Amino acid sequence: MQNSAVFVPHFHWDREWYEPFQVFRHRLVAALDTVLETAESNPDFRFTVDGQMAAIEDYLEMRPENRERLVALVSGGRLAIGPWLILLDEFLCSGETVVRNLQMGWAAAAELGGSMPIGYLPDMFGHIAQMPQILARAGIEHAALWRGVPGSVEGHAFRWRAPDGSEVRTEFLFDGYDNGLDVLLVPDRIGRALGQYAEATADRWGTDPLLAMAGTDHNAPDPQLAAWLRRASSDERAITIATLDEYIREHVRDEVSSVVTGELRSHVRGNILPGVLSVRLGLKQRMAVAERTIDHAERMNALWSRRDDTPFLSLAWHKIIESAAHDSVVGSGTDETCDQVDARLAEAAQTARAVRDAALAEAAALVPSDGHLVANPLPFARTAAVEVDVVAPPEGHVLAATAADGSVRPVQLISQAPTVLSDERMDASQLERVLRRIHRRELFGRLIDTYELTPGSLVFHLAEVPSSGPFDLMILRGKVAEAAAAHPGEWRVLTLEEPRATALALVDVPASGLASFRVGPTDRTPVLPTEFVPATATDRTLANGLVEVAVTADGTLDVTGADGSVLRGVGRLVDGGDRGDSYNYGPPAQDVLVSEPAEVAVKVLEDGPLRARTRITRVYAWPAALSADRDVRSGETVPTPVETLVEVRAGEPFVRVSTSFLNRSADHRLRFHVPLPEPVTGSASAGQFAVTPRGLTAEGGWGEHPIPTFPAESFVSAGAAHVLLDHASEYEVVGDGSELAVTLLRAIGSISVNIHPFRDEPAATEIAAPGAQDLGLRVENRFAVLPPAAGWQQANAVALADLFRNDVLVARGTAPAGDRLPPDATGIRVDGTDVSVSAVRRVTTEDGGTGTEVRLVAMSDTGAGARVTGAFTEATTVDLLGRPLSTTPAADGLDLALGPWEIRTVVVR
C-alpha cells in the first residue's frame, strides 16, 4: 500500500456549456480570484489551471491588474498553465486545428512565465491516434487523460504510441479528474478516507505515490485545503500538494510497461459519449467551412499577396479554436450557447474570407475584366470544372473557354438569366426617383453600358463589363430633366441587361497556382483533355467513363466503378426514433424504422458534357415525434420529401451526392446506407493526420452501451465502399458488416436525460434543448461515393477526398477588358503518393525574415516520398512549435523521405 499521496488542486473549466460563455466567465473570475488569494497567502498551495489558456485569457480580460500576480505564481512553479488554448474535441476538427490549438496555447503561456509541459487532456470524449506524435513533435514527453483508455491498462500510467511510433508517457486518470474529492468530503476524516481509497486502488499505483486530483467543474478548491492536508499528513502516510507537472516529473518512479497504440475510444473506465459526433449537424458543417476557408486564406495570402494579413488570420484561428471546445462544437450545450458557437464560427469564416478574397483580388488585377481568375488551393495540378456568369452567346454560336496558352475547352451552358430587369410606367415628374437608384454607374448590381432617351421613353442597357466609353451621371440628369419638362405625362422606363448565362468551363490549374480564362463564342472546335470522357445523363443513368450510376425504382443508386465493382442500393435512407440526448443516441423500446419511400420521382437536370446531374425526390412518412413516455414513436406521420442530387463530372472517379429535406419530425435519427457487395470485418476512417482502422464492435464498460458509431473527418472506407466527406461525421458498419451507414441527422430535445437506455449515469442536468431538434430547418448533407473494390490506398482516397472538399477559387478579372490573359503561375508543388498537405502559410523566421511553412503528412503505414518545389532556395525543418531543427539548401527543390504516418513541417524561403 502506498505510504504517500500527492494532491493536485485544480478545476476543470467548461468555457461554455449548460450556461453561455459570459455566465461561466463570471464564475471563472471569482474562482481564479480565490486561487490567487489562496496561493499568495499559503506558500504550500499549488494549482493546475486545467491545461487551457482560454481560462487565463478570459480572466485577464476582466482582471488585467492581476497579470503580474499571476506571472509571479507561474514563474515560481506554483501555478501550472497551458499547454492548450482550449480543451478541444479532438475528433470534430481537423488535425491542423489541433496543432494550432497547441501552438497558440503554448505561445500564450510563454508570455506569462511558461507552459506546463504536459499534454493534459482531462475530459475529451476519446482521443485521436496521432496525439502522441503531435505532443512529441512539440517537445512534450508526457500526457494525462481519463476517457477512452482500454481495459488492458491496469496501472496508473501507460506508454501511448502514435501510428508513426512516437510515444508519450501517459498518466491515466482512471477514476476521473476529480478522484480526490470523495476523500475531502469530511475535512476531519481525510486521513481515514485516503487510507480506504489507497487500499481500494493499491493495485494501480505500484510504488508510486497515489495521485488525488482535488478539483471538479467550475469551482476553486476550498482555501483551507492546504491546512486540511497538513493536518491529515502523518508518518504513516505523507501528503504533498503539487501541480500535475510536479507529480509526474518529481514523484513517479515506476517503469511503465503497458503500451497502447492509436486512438482511445474504449468505454471501460469512462463514458466517451459518442452521440456528440452527430447532434447539431449545423455546428459540424460550420466548423468545416471555417477551417476550409482559413486554410485557403492562409495559402492565398502566403503565395499570392504582398500584404501580411497574419493578425486577421490569428483572430480567425482563435475563434475557430475557441469553438472546438469539447462542450462547444459537440453541440451539448443549451440553445443559446450553441447559437454563440455558431456565430463565432461564422465570424471566423468571414474574417478568413476577407483575407482570401483580398489575396485573390491582387491576382485578379492582372486578369482582364472579360476573363476570370482561378486559384487552386491544393499543391498538385488539377483540371477543374468552374461555374461562371458570362454573356450569353448569340443564337447559333458555340461558347468555349480559352486559356492563357490559347487552348480551347468546351463549355456547358447551365442556365440563362432574364434580360428585362424592370419595366415601369410613371409620370414624367417621377423620373428623378429612377435616377436616384443610380450610384455613379451602378444600377441593380450591374453597370450602365448605354441608355436611350426618346420622348416618353428611357431605356437602360446594363452590362457586367461596359463596352462603351465613360458614363456621366450629371449629364444624364440634365437630359432627363429637360426631356421630362418638354414631354409631360406618362413615361416608360425599361431596364435591360445584356443576355447572361451560367456556364461551366473546364480549366487546367497548376499546383497551388493561378490560371485565367475567357468564355466566349469561338470558331475553333473545343476539345476535352484526351483522358476525359464526357459526362452524360439519361432518364435513369449517369456516366463519365470512370463511374456509372443507375437510378433504381426505389430511388437508390447502383454505382459501378471503372474496375467493374458495383455498389447496389446506395442511398437507402433509414429513419428511426431517438429517445437519447446530445451525448448518446438512445433507441425507443418500440422503435419504428422507416426505409421505404411512399413516392419516387426522378428528373434529369443536366446532361453533360462536363457535368451530369439528376434529382431524385423520395417522399417518406416519418413519425412526427415520440410518445409522451418516449418509448414509442408517434402514430402521427409527416410526409417528408427528401431530394437527392446525384452528379458526375468529367474526369472524376466518384459520384457526388447531396441530400436535402425540411425537417418536420422530432426525436429521430436518419442515416444514409451504402450496402456492401460482401460483408466486412472492419472499416477505416481518415481524420487528424491518420487513417484509423476499426472493427465492428466497441469495448464496453463503465455503464455506457458500447455502440460502434465512429468518427470520420475526410473519408470512411468499408470494403468496396469509400465515402468522401464534407465535414466531420458519424458512421457505423451495420448488419453484421453488410452495410455502411452515415448519419445525416440526429434530432433530440435535451442536453442530457436522467434515464437513458444506453447510459447509466446522466451526462449533465436534464435541460431542454429544443434547438437540437432542428425542426423547421432545411437539413443538407453532401458527400461522394468512390466505388473501387480495392482498399482506400489503391483507390487514392486521400487525394480524392482533398479534391472533393476543396473547390478551386474563382474571381472576375479587373484589368481592362480585351487585354491578354496573364500566363499561368505555379505556387508550392508537392509530388508524392499518399502525402497530404495540411498547411501552407506565411511565417516570420527567427532572423525576422519571411518564410512559407508547409506541413506534410505521410498517410501510409509504409511511409512516403515527397518532392516539394517552388520559388525557394533553402528549407528548414521545424518542430510543431516552429522551432528550427535543421536547414538544407533547396534551390532545386526539396526531397523528403517521410516515415509511416509521419508529420513533417518545413519552412522554405
- DSSP letter string, 52-67: BHHHHHHHHHH-GGGH
CA distances from 270 to 147, 586, 686 (A): 5, 18, 24
Cα-based distances in Å from 373 to 126, 367, 388, 505, 828: 43, 7, 11, 12, 18
Place of cell 471563472: 28
Cα-flanking dihedrals φ and ψ of residue 24, to 5°? -65, -35
pLDDT at 847: 84
Residue with cell 491588474: 65
| Contact (CB, 8 A) for 729 and 747 | no
- The pTM (predicted TM-score) of the whole model is 0.95
- Decide: helix, strand or coil at residue 200: helix
Taking the CA of residue 628 as centre, how many other CA atoms within 13 Å lie in the half-sphere pointing to its CB?
A: 0
**Dihedral Cα 393, 396, 401, 403, nearest 10 deg:** -110
Q: What is the pLDDT of residue 2?
A: 63
C-alpha–C-alpha distance, residues 512 and 663, integer Å: 39
Task: Please answer whether residues 745 and 732 qualify as being in contact, where contact means their C-beta atoms are separated by less than 8 angstroms.
Answer: no
DSSP 251: I
Please tell me whether residue 25 adopts helix, strand or coil conformation: helix
Q: Do 718 and 734 form a contact (C-beta atoms < 8 A)?
A: no
Check if the beta carbon of residue 764 is closer than 8 Å to that of residue 19. Answer: no
Quote the CA–CA distance of 548 and 542 in Å, as a whole number.
6
Q: How far apart are CA 10 and CA 6, in angstroms?
A: 13
pLDDT score of 1? 46
Are 723 and 715 in contact by the 8 Å Cβ rule? The answer is yes
Q: Which segments in the chain show pLDDT lower than 70?
A: 1-2
209 secondary structure, DSSP code: P
Nearest residue to 352 via CA among 341, 340, 342, 344:
344
**C-alpha dihedral, 596 to 598 to 600 to 601, nearest 10°:** -160
Mention every residue, 6+ apart, whose C-beta is less than 8 A from residue 809: 296, 300, 356, 360, 374, 375, 376, 377
DSSP string for residues in 735-779:
TTTTEEEEEEEEE-SBS--SSBTTBSS-SS---B-GGGG-TTPEE
Whole-number pLDDT of residue 731: 98
Question: Whole-angstrom Cα distance, residue 735 to residue 679?
Answer: 9
* Position 699, amino acid: E
Task: Provide CB contacts within 8 A for 775, sequence distance 6+.
Answer: 663, 664, 665, 666, 747
Least Cα distance to 580 among 699, 707, 673 occurs for: 707
C-alpha to C-alpha distance for 11 and 33, rounded to whole angstroms? 13
pLDDT 10s digits, 361-384: 999 999 999 999 999 999 999 999
* pLDDT digit string, tens, across residues 764-793: 999 999 999 999 999 999 999 999 888 999
Say which residues have a Cβ less than 8 Å from residue 99's Cβ, sequence separation at least 6. 134, 838, 839, 855, 880
Cell output for 319: 475563434
Nearest-10 crossing angle of helices 310-323, 335-364 = 150
- Residue 749 Cα distances to 22, 162, 593, 649, 685, angstroms: 24, 37, 20, 40, 29
